[in-house]
Structure formats: C-alpha cells, structure tokens
Amino acid sequence: MALLLGVLSTICLVLPWVRVGSRDRSSIDMIGSAGALDIIEGATKAIVVLLWFLLPVLVAAAMLSLAAGRIRLLGWLLVPLGLILGAIVLLLLIVAGDVVVWGAWLSAAFAVGASASAIMVLVGEREGTR
C-alpha cells in the first residue's frame, strides 16, 4: 500500500497544482516559471530542481527495494514523501492561498498516506523480528 500511494503521489506532480488566471499549472510548471521570472536563480534553482526530481527517484528506489525483498528499505525510502510534499503544499497554501487546486491536495494526501503506511511497515517489521 505504501508503494502504491508513493507512486500516486509522484504521478500527481504533473497534475494541476495552482490556477494562474485561467490556466492551471503543475508543480513542474511552477518551478519552470519561477526560474524564468528569476524568482529562483543560480544554485538555488539547481537545488530546487534536483530536490524536486529526487521525489520520483525515491519512489523508484522503493520499487527496486520491494523487488529485492528489502521491505525495511522500502519503508525508509517512502517515509520522507509525506513530510516533504505535505510541507510544500502547506507552504504553498500559506503563500498562494486559494489558487491551490486539486493536484496539490492529491499529491500531499497520497504522500502522507505513503509515509504513514511506510511507518506501519517499519513498525510491523520491527515487531516481527522480536
């Protein structure tokens, strides 16, 4: 369940996150626009882009760990998703207010669910080893 929710949360990165005028923009569009408008630039822009694309890499690594039978590693890889995406959507809500649309909410909800499920996997695996 944790992996499925993690996959869904990363798919939601390309869904509409904010409405600007009559156009919806995904999270990736927002990063591109912020770079084009020099809101973020230089090293900050590179760090934001790298960190943003790290999220799908975490989920892909969790898929590989499941295939390898490393369930605890899967849990550790998915725990940060809810913290990261939840914090970003909360910050976006504080900064942008009511322009936040359904893609951001879905991504955060799936990511928090993935993190909660991953924690349950970690606790369950720990209890099973006693």
Full-model pTM? 0.83
Is the pLDDT confidence value at 35 over 90?
Answer: no
Tokens encoding 72: 């605890």
Closest CA relative to residue 78, chosen from 89, 64, 94: 64
Number of domains making up the chain: 1
Please report, for residues 8, 13, 47, 95, the alpha-carbon distance to residue 60 in angstroms, rounded to integers and kept in the order given. 12, 15, 20, 30
Share of the chain above pLDDT 70, in %: 96
Q: What is the span of the domain harbouring residue 44?
A: 2-128
Q: What is the pLDDT of residue 117?
A: 94
CA distance linking residue 23 with residue 29, whole number of Å: 11
When the pLDDT of each residue in the chain is averaged and rounded to a whole number, the result is 87
